[in-house]
Amino acid sequence: GLAFAGGMFAGPVAAQVDGAALGAGKSVAAVQADKPDTSRLVPHGVQGAQSRIDLDAEQTANVKAIIAATKKAGMDERAAVVSIATALQESKLENLGHLGDRNDHDSQGLFQQRPSSGWGTVEQITDPEYSTTAFLKGLKQVDGWQDMPLTQAAQTVQVS
């Protein structure tokens, strides 16, 4: 039962069987098939409990815009993850305009960037490609961002 349960949790296993070895009574090794490299999935920090959110059409379009801008900037998947996570935290991936009394100063857009802090004009920072490119420009200036925990890299750029 334990071997079966272990296999169920470990994912698909492909047996590497050499017919001669099997016939000679030698042991056969099982190898994990298509196992994701956890150093890429959770490269910095500790993996915690997983959660899930449903994205609407606007949020999905904004994620796609962030990914496209990251690719256009010539940056890797890690940069896209940091960017998406930052926008998720800052705006729930919604391209927010001025929120009146509920607004944090003059913060707007996906990344809640502020025109008064030099991020760009309102029109610019509410454009997903522009705001992502501005965020990535800041990220590139953070020494060692690739090796920082996601939250530290994001906070270093955002200075919120």
Domain spans of the chain, in order of start: 53-159
* Neighbour tally for 19: CB within 10 Å: 7
- What are the pLDDT digits (tens) for 64-92? 999 999 999 999 999 999 999 999 999 99
CA distance 143 to 121: 27
CA distance 145 to 157: 10
CA distance 85 to 155: 11
Read off the pTM.
0.68
- What are the pLDDT digits (tens) for 103-159? 557 889 999 999 989 999 999 999 999 999 999 999 999 999 999 999 999 999 998
CA distance 100 to 119: 19
**Closest by CA position to 81, among listed 98, 92, 66, 100:** 66
